[in-house]
A and B are shown apart, each in its own frame.
Chain A
């Protein structure tokens, strides 16, 4: 079982990466984790998801976006978080189901794609891919956040 808190550096616990530290093209180290049935159930609860919306040919799937609770952990392992980050946008693509009735081993990888300053804000863009260990693609995300420093 891997709760996101098991693998995600927490804001304020270590010196934060600053805007100047981010390198476009830098690769995040692969992050292996397991989405357990308990995590799926807790996720459904905290996002008020209706399980009836996730049944595929009679089998209960998880909301595929459950994997997104691990997204920032992939990035934060290379660039420890700072307080006051604001999420700006996401483009997310779903490729294969994550099932609610089994544990799912996942490997998260990613890279910094862009950084820029605009109207006094410092923007960071990065991609994260989530795949099964056999290479089956689950979810991909292109993300933008703004940080104060």
Chain B
């Protein structure tokens, strides 16, 4: 099992938000209507929280292998929105700490461990 920090940088686009929404059926306009999102105090449309969760899970699956499927445990909090144009860095530390960070802020914090 790798004990180094695992990281990926995934630039975010509206097309990615749209593609995820086509699959999961999410019609919440906070993901698609720029003005609606800005009126609610965000920088722009928001990406789907479970999309970022999946980015973290991908690193956890890489680290923990088969064990992740049988006793993986992920806890995440979405602390800031992710908007089109954000360069999102996803990290999994050796102790299981996870985070997503854009050029603007930390957007997700939590942990990915084995039960």
Contact = CB atoms under 8 A, between A and B. Distances in A.
A121 to B, nearest CB: 11
Interface residues of B, number: 42
Contacts of A84: 28-30, 36, 40
Interface stretch (A3-11, A18-26, A105-113): A3-11
Contact of B27 (A13, A48, A57): A13
Interface in A98-149: 148
A46 B16 CA distance: 7
Contact of B70 (A10, A69, A96): A96
Interface string A23-45: 00000000000000001001101
A72 B48 CA distance: 12
B35 interface: no
Interface residues of A, number: 48
Contacts of A69: 23-25, 50
Interface string A70-85: 1111000000010111
Contacts of A87: 48-50, 78
A96 to B, nearest CB: 7
Interface string B46-57: 101111011101
A11 B57 CA distance: 27
Contact of B72 (A72, A94, A148): A94
25 contacts: A4-B24, A11-B28, A13-B27, A46-B51, A47-B20, A47-B54, A47-B58, A50-B62, A54-B69, A68-B53, A70-B24, A84-B29, A84-B36, A87-B48, A87-B49, A89-B76, A89-B77, A90-B49, A90-B75, A91-B75, A92-B73, A94-B68, A94-B70, A94-B72, A96-B70
Given A91-B75, A97-B66, 13 more contacts: A3-B25, A46-B16, A48-B55, A49-B57, A53-B61, A56-B65, A63-B58, A65-B50, A71-B50, A86-B78, A87-B48, A95-B71, A97-B69
